[in-house]
C-alpha cells in the first residue's frame, strides 16, 4: 500500500506542476479531485505512511503562532538600481572593462514586484522557506509557502544537488489582487495599495488556510549550491524549471549592448500583458565564475543591476464626467474613460476628487486624459493632452444641484467639497448609511451589503438604521433574491450585532468626521450613550482630539430627530451603548502622552490590535506623520513616503519587536 500512496503523491505533484506552473493540465479538475480524495482516504487508513509534504497538506491547518527568525546561509543582498537605458549601458561598459574580455554574456530577466523568498531543498524535498528580512536574517514562513501550489514540495525527478537554495519572488497575480480588493471593499476593510503589499501581508498571515485561499504564485530566478549543474546562470534556471520550479519565460541570454537595449525596449511595452506585477528588469553576468571574480560592493553585487520602469501612464479619451453622491452627501466628479489597460488591469473610471482639482486640470468635453497608477492600484488623472482637444469643446462644469435628489449643493466651509444637505431624504445617503452600519468593521451584519441595502430601502422595509432591528425572517424571505438561508444569515447577524462594542456602534452611526479612531476615544471618554447625549458643545470640545468642529458635528447629529429615534430603537433592541467597566482601566501607561503612527504589515498582531494596544497603554493613534509624532511603529513594507518623512523630521522608527518590549510584552 505504501507504493500506491507514493505513486498517487508523485502523480498529484506532477499534475499540480502541469496545472499551476506549465498551464497545461493533462486531466480534468474532477479527475484531480478524485485522485486527491483517494490519497486522503488511504492516508487516513494508513497513518504510518503520512508525509508532511504530501499534496493533501497543501491547504494548511493549524495557526502559526509567530515566525522564527532564521539567519541566511548566504546573505540576500539588494541590487543597485538604474532608471534609464543610459545607466544600464554604463554598467555594461564597466562589466566589459572589468572582465577584460569580449567572451561574456548577460542574462536578462523580469524584476517581479512581490516579496522575496529563499527556499532550501534537501534530497529533493522542501526543508525551509525564509523571507528576505534585513538580508542577513528573515522569518521562517515554511507553513505558509507550502500552501502555494506553484511551488514544489517534492521535486520532479532530476539530478538535483543533495542540498541547495533557490530564490524567487512570491507574487499575487493581478486577477487575484482585483478579487481580493473587491472583497475587502465590500467588507469596508482598507484596500491593499498594490499586489506587492498584498503578497507580503498574505505571506505574514498567521493562518496558512487564509494564505491558501488567496492563491499566491511565485517565480524563481537564482539557484545557489556548492555543486551547481552549470557555470551558466541561464542554464541553471532552465534546469531548475525541469525540476518543477516556475521560471519566467521572459528570461533571455543577451550577447551585446544592442541586445540589452532591445530587451529593455521590448519589455517596457509588453510587461503590461503579463498576469503578474513587475516593476523593472534585472541584468546579471551569466557566468558564475565571472560573477565570483567581479565580487561585491558593501551593499550589492557588481555583476548584477536592476532597471526600474517608469510609472505606467496611458492617454485615453474622456467619455463623460459623472457626479456621484456619497454616504455623507459629498458629491464627487468621476471621469468615465474609454477602457485602457494599465498595470495589468482595465481602467474605465478615475476619481477627479473635487471641483478645485477638476478646475486645475481644466477638463473639457472630449478631452484625452493622462492616467497613471505609479505603483498604486487607484488610478489618477495626471493631466490633459490639449493638442487633441476638439476646437469647440466645452469646459466641464461642476453641478449646482444633487444629481440624485436635485437639492441645491452647499460648499463645506474651509474645504473643496460640495455637499447635498438633504441628508435624510437623498437616496444614496440613506442607503449608504445602511450599508455602512452593517459593514464588517461596524456592526458586522452579514448579508446586508450595497445591493441588499438598496433592496431593503426600495421595498420600504428599511429607511433608517433603527428599522434594521424591526426585520424578521418572514419580512425578508421573497424580497428580491433573498431566500430562507440568506434571511436566516441576516437575522443571525442582526442578533450578533447587539454584542458589538460601544465604540464600533458610534462609528456605525455615520456621525460626520467621527471615524474609527475618534469613535474609540469618544467611547472611552464618555463611557455610555446617555452621558454623550447630555453633553453640551463646550463639554464635547474638551474631549481630547475632538475639537470644536467635530464637537459641533456630534452635537448637531445627536439632536436630529431621525438620529435620536435611531439611538432609542438601538437601545430597545439591546444594542451595546456603554463601555464595560473592566475595559475602562488602562492595561498600562507605557505610552502616556505619546502619539504613534502605524505603517506596514505585522507578524504578532493586526494593525487594529496595535491601535487598541496603543490606546490601552495611554497612547494616541495618528494617521499621518507630523512634528507631533513620537515614533512610527513600522512593520514589513513600510511606505517609502512615510520613511522619507521620518528622515526629514527626525522621527524614530520602532520595529514590532522593539515596540512589544517597550510595553512589556
Q: Which residues contact 304 (CB under 8 A, 6 or more apart)?
A: 79, 282, 283, 284, 285
Rg (CA), the chain: 29
DSSP letters, 583-625, are GGS-S--TTTT-EEEEESB-SSS-HHHHHHHHHHTT-EEESS-
- Asked if 128 and 188 touch (Cβ cutoff 8 Å), the reply is no
DSSP letters, 263-298, are HHHHHHHHGGGSSS-EEEEEEEESBHHHHHHH-B-S
CA-to-CA distance for 189 and 205, rounded, in angstroms? 16
Q: Which listed residue (97, 111, 146, 373) is catalytic?
A: 111
CA-to-CA distance for 205 and 193, rounded, in angstroms? 17
Number of H helices, E strands in the chain: 24, 22
Q: Which helix (H) or strand (E) holds 339?
A: strand 330-342
User: In this structure, what C-alpha cell is assigned to residue 632?
Assistant: 512610527
Phi, psi of 435 (to 5 degrees): -60, -45
CA-to-CA distance for 58 and 458, rounded, in angstroms? 46
User: In this structure, what C-alpha cell is assigned to residue 621?
Assistant: 493613534
User: In this structure, what C-alpha cell is assigned to residue 456?
Assistant: 431593503
111 is annotated as an active-site residue: yes
DSSP state of 62: S
Give the residue among 119, 132, 131, 139 at the shortest CA–CA distance from 53.
Answer: 119
- Asked if 280 and 57 touch (Cβ cutoff 8 Å), the reply is no
Count Cβ neighbours within 10 Å for each residue of 435-450 and write b for 16 or more, e otherwise.
Answer: bbbbbeebbbbbbbbe
Catalytic residue numbers, as ranges: 111
Amino acid at each position: 500500500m505504501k507504493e500506491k500512496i507514493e505513486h498517487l503523491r508523485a502523480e498529484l505533484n506532477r499534475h499540480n506542476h502541469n496545472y499551476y506552473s506549465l498551464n497545461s493540465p493533462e486531466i480534468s479538475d474532477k479527475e484531480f479531485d478524485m485522485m486527491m480524495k483517494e490519497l486522503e482516504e488511504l492516508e487516513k487508513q494508513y497513518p504510518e505512511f503520512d508525509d508532511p509534504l504530501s499534496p493533501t497538506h497543501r491547504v494548511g491547518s493549524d495557526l502559526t503562532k509567530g515566525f522564527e527568525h532564521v539567519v541566511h546561509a548566504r546573505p540576500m543582498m539588494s541590487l543597485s538600481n538604474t532608471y534609464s537605458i543610459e545607466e544600464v549601458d554604463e554598467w555594461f561598459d564597466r562589466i566589459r572593462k572589468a572582465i577584460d574580455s569580449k567572451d561574456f554574456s548577460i542574462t536578462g530577466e523580469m524584476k517581479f514586484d512581490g516579496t522575496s523568498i529563499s527556499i532550501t531543498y534537501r534530497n529533493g524535498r522542501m526543508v525551509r522557506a525564509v523571507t528576505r528580512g534585513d538580508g542577513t536574517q528573515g522569518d521562517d514562513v515554511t507553513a505558509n509557502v507550502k500552501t502555494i501550489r506553484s511551488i514544489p514540495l517534492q521535486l520532479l525527478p532530476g539530478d538535483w544537488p543533495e542540498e541547495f537554495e533557490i530564490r524567487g519572488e512570491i507574487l499575487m497575480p493581478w486577477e487575484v489582487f482585483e478579487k481580493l480588493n473587491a472583497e475587502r471593499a465590500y467588507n469596508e476593510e482598507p484596500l491593499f495599495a498594490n499586489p506587492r503589499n498584498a503578497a507580503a501581508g498574505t505571506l505574514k498571515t498567521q493562518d496558512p488556510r487564509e494564505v491558501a485561499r488567496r492563491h499566491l504564485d511565485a517565480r524563481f530566478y537564482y539557484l545557489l549550491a556548492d555543486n551547481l549543474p552549470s557555470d551558466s546562470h541561464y542554464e541553471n534556471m532552465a534546469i531548475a524549471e525541469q525540476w518543477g520550479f516556475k521560471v519566467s519565460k521572459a528570461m533571455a541570454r543577451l550577447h551585446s549592448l544592442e541586445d540589452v537595449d532591445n530587451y529593455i525596449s521590448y519589455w517596457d511595452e509588453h510587461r503590461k500583458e503579463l498576469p503578474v506585477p513587475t516593476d523593472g528588469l534585472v541584468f546579471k553576468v551569466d557566468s558564475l565564475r565571472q560573477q565570483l571574480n567581479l565580487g561585491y560592493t558593501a551593499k550589492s553585487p557588481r555583476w548584477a543591476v536592476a532597471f526600474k520602469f517608469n510609472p505606467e501612464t496611458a492617454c485615453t479619451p474622456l467619455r463623460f464626467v459623472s457626479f456621484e453622491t456619497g454616504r455623507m452627501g459629498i458629491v464627487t466628479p468621476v471621469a468615465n474613460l474609454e477602457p485602457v489597460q494599465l498595470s495589468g488591469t482595465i481602467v474605465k473610471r478615475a476619481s477627479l476628487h473635487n471641483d478645485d482639482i477638476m478646475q486645475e486640470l481644466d477638463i473639457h468635453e472630449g478631452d484625452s486624459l493622462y492616467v497613471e497608477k505609479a505603483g498604486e492600484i487607484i488610478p489618477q488623472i495626471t493631466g490633459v493632452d490639449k493638442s487633441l482637444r476638439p476646437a469647440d469643446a466645452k469646459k466641464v462644469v461642476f453641478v449646482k444641484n444633487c444629481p440624485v435628489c436635485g437639492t441645491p449643493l452647499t460648499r463645506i466651509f474651509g474645504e473643496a467639497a460640495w455637499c447635498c444637505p438633504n441628508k435624510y431624504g437623498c437616496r444614496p445617503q440613506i442607503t449608504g448609511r445602511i450599508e455602512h452600519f452593517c459593514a464588517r468593521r461596524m456592526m458586522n451584519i452579514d448579508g446586508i451589503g450595497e445591493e441588499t441595502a438598496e433592496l431593503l430601502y426600495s421595498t420600504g422595509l428599511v429607511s433608517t438604521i433603527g428599522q434594521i432591528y424591526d426585520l424578521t425572517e418572514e419580512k425578508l424571505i421573497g424580497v428580491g433574491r433573498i431566500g430562507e438561508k440568506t434571511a436566516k444569515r441576516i437575522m443571525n447577524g442582526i442578533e450578533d450585532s447587539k454584542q458589538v462594542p460601544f465604540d464600533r456602534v458610534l462609528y456605525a452611526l455615520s456621525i460626520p468626521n467621527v471615524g474609527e479612531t475618534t469613535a474609540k476615544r469618544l467611547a472611552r471618554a464618555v463611557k455610555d450613550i446617555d452621558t454623550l447625549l447630555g453633553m453640551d458643545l463646550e463639554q464635547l470640545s474638551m474631549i481630547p482630539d475632538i475639537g470644536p468642529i467635530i464637537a459641533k458635528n456630534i452635537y448637531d447629529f445627536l439632536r436630529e430627530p431621525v438620529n435620536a429615534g435611531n439611538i432609542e430603537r438601538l437601545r430597545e433592541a439591546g444594542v451595546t451603548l456603554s463601555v464595560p467597566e473592566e475595559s475602562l482601566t488602562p492595561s498600562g501607561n507605557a505610552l502616556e502622552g505619546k502619539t504613534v503612527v502605524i505603517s506596514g504589515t505585522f507578524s504578532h498582531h493586526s494593525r487594529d490590535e496595535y491601535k487598541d494596544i496603543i490606546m490601552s497603554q495611554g497612547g494616541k493613534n495618528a494617521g499621518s506623520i507630523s512634528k507631533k509624532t513620537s515614533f512610527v511603529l513600522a512593520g514589513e513594507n513600510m511606505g517609502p513616503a512615510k520613511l522619507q518623512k521620518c528622515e526629514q523630521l527626525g522621527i524614530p522608527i520602532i520595529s514590532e519587536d522593539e515596540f512589544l518590549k517597550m510595553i512589556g510584552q
